[in-house]
């Protein structure tokens, strides 16, 4: 690489470099920031499975799994649902399994009929585990609504996200895991 000699050349070089970095990131060339957080814990203490028979993470081995902790009266959770639902619809035929873990913040959110109503209202067709006693929440050492955990084909949590946002990064990560050969990342 040549070293610019003047201030004007240095400025031009900086602008070109900034555009090159930005275009690489915008084109999705950047690898998603995976981290191996270890084996994902099993779903545990689930009172009710909605939209599905009971699932286990060991039974989902070989698939990419997105676990979404939410509760239906949390505005932040409601804002993320369109993205989670979109990922389910877009990637289910490629091997993504989305599991919503409904963990209530308030007593009225424990009622199955209320959760079912919210599922219908928001067009959720993926499996939802009703975690009224926080057993799965605690197993994941979760602290937030909403929170997503992306699990690779080997059953390891490789991406965590709490709160809203990070949608593009999460989608790139889903695609990268689905495109990976076999059980390797």
3 vs 133, which has greater pLDDT?
A: 133
What per-residue confidence (pLDDT) applies to 33? Answer: 78
Compute CA distances 14 → 4, 24, 97, 142, whole Å: 10, 15, 43, 42
Q: Is the pLDDT at 131 greater than 60, yes or no?
A: yes
The dihedral formed by the CA atoms of 41, 143, 101 and 72, expressed in degrees to the nearest 10: 180
Residues in the chain: 185
State residue 182's pLDDT score. 58
pLDDT at 21 over 50: no
CA gyration radius, the chain = 20
The percent helix, strand, coil of the chain (3-state, each to 5) is 40, 20, 45
Average pLDDT, the chain: 87
> Which carries the bigger pLDDT value, residue 32 or residue 9?
32
* Residue 165 pLDDT: 97
pTM for the whole thing? 0.82
Per-residue pLDDT at 177:
97
Structural domains of the chain ordered from first start: 1-30 (no CATH), 34-179 (3.40.30.10)
Q: 17 falls in which pLDDT band (50, 70, 90)?
A: very low
pLDDT (0 to 100) of residue 32: 75
Q: How do residues 34-65 score in pLDDT, each as one tens digit?
A: 999 999 999 999 999 999 999 999 999 999 99
Mean pLDDT of 63-78: 98
């Amino acid at each position: 690489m040549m070293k610019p000699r003047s201030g004007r050349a240095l400025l031009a070089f900086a602008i070109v470099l900034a555009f090159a970095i930005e275009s690489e990131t915008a084109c999705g060339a950047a690898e998603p920031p995976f981290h191996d957080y270890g084996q994902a814990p099993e779903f545990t203490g689930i009172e009710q499975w909605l939209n599905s028979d009971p699932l286990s993470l060991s039974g989902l081995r070989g698939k990419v799994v997105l676990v979404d902790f939410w509760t239906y009266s949390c505005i932040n959770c409601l804002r993320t649902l369109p993205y989670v639902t979109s990922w389910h619809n877009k990637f289910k035929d490629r091997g993504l399994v989305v599991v919503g873990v409904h963990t209530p913040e308030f007593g009225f959110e424990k009622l199955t009929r209320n959760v079912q109503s919210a599922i219908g209202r928001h067009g959720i067709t993926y499996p939802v585990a009703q975690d009224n006693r926080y057993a799965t929440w605690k197993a994941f050492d979760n602290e937030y609504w909403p929170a997503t955990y992306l699990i690779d084909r080997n059953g390891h949590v490789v991406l965590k996200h709490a709160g809203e946002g990070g949608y593009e990064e999460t989608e790139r990560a889903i695609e990268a895991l689905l495109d990976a050969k076999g059980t390797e990342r």
